[in-house]
Amino acid sequence: MTDADTTAALVDTVRRFARQRVAPVAARHDAEDSYPADLVADMADMGLFGITIPEAYGGLGLDLVTYTTIVEELAWAWMSVTGFLNTHFMVSYLVNTFGTEDQRTRLLPKLACGEIRGAYSMTEPDAGSDVAAITTKAVRDGDDWVVNGTKAWLTNGRMAGLIAMLVRTPGEPAAGDGRHGELTVLLVEKEPGADRHGGITVGPNVHKLGYRGIETVEVSLADHRVPADAVLGGVTNRGFAQMMAAVELGRVNIAARAIGVAQRALDESLGYARTRTTFGRRIADHQAIGFKLAEMATKVTAARLLYRQAAAEKQAGERSDLTASMAKLFCAETCWEVCGEALRIHGGNGYAAEYPVERLYRDAPLMIIGDGTSEIQKLVISRRLLEAEDT
């Protein structure tokens, strides 16, 4: 088999898994907000936690376009299962791209097989889009770093064994990038599933509108000690650039998730419009509904092309912050719009939990907020456009 055949076979396997194993249980896990341990184990057995990790470290070594295609397939069935991959994927990228050889050798094989899962931690209760407002602090004490502070909105935060955590490291040599010059990434290891580990306390799961079944928690650190070699890449005060490189990937990931959800909303709408009748004929035959379906399908198709372009640019090593932000903005807003139209097409039934559209409509807002709001994407896009014009 060629590499293309292998990739196509994996995508086909994931598609079957999503439709046969994930989709049938999504409604139950969503309603109960219950952790799907069996699905996570199946994903580990399929090698999905190591999709982009190099083969030398036990991963599959596949490209970013393949990864995002797999994310879209999973999101079609249930968007929450993509969350088990996304932050893990970002942490794996950080370790592989910026880590020391010791960090790569020690951590990547465990990440690749799912023995440990990664959580990405930048946000704090009072610091979201304004990263420079981070107050969690790490101070040297002999051979350790002593960490104090609180981090918020950690996806995988309880079940993760490794947290890539952005902290302030005052007194260290500054990186020279202004307000972000004292920020460092620490690779904080912890016991998966434990509410307490050393000075780490994991808070209760946040009760969310959607994106249920996956834990989202606050993590507090009180004099928690990590070894000196926990600094990503062994160099302090480079954290902002490192984390933002991972955020670009996260934005492409969310764009792919958004299109998976939007495609499901479109598919549900097409199926419903073909079978639901009003005034003696299928609602699909009413021009008002037909036009909605046409616009939904066109936007989903266009958005898919945009996120795949962003993935290809990042994979090729090109500067991709502009296209990644465009993809995240357009795909997220398209998802929200398509899910809204799907609810309208379903009428009263779209408001009932019996139909998947109700869940899709609740999941859609995450894509507008996660990894930078739509407004932040517009700021990035406008600044990059003006930067290109000025040069």
Residue ranges covered by each domain of the chain: 3-113, 118-237, 241-390
Say which CATH topology domain 241-390 has.
Butyryl-CoA Dehydrogenase, subunit A; domain 3 (1.20.140)
Domain 118-237 class?
Answer: mainly beta
Q: How confident is the model at residue 383 (pLDDT cuts 50, 70, 90)?
A: very high
**What value does the mean pLDDT of the chain take?**
94
Q: How confident is the model at residue 362 (pLDDT cuts 50, 70, 90)?
A: very high
Residue showing tokens 């616009």: 295
Question: What confidence tens digit (pLDDT) does each residue in 301-322 have?
Answer: 999 999 999 999 999 988 889 9
pLDDT score for 179: 64
Report d(CA 38, CA 204) in Å as an integer. Answer: 22
CA 238 to chain centre: 22
Question: What confidence tens digit (pLDDT) does each residue in 3-48 have?
Answer: 777 789 999 999 999 999 999 999 999 999 999 999 999 999 999 9
Q: In the predicted model, what is the mean pLDDT of residues 169-181?
A: 69
Residue showing tokens 């007194």: 171
Q: Which helix (H) or strand (E) holds 146?
A: strand 144-155
Q: Report the alpha-carbon angle 123-214-348, nearest 5.
A: 110
Fold match flag (3-113 vs 118-237): no
pLDDT score for 151: 98
Report d(CA 265, CA 77) in Å as an integer. Answer: 11
Report d(CA 260, CA 79) in Å as an integer. Answer: 8
Q: What is the dihedral of CA 321, 84, 33, 198, to 10 degrees?
A: -100
What percent of the chain has pLDDT above 90? 90
Report d(CA 78, CA 19) in Å as an integer. Answer: 9
Architecture of domain 3-113: Orthogonal Bundle (1.10)
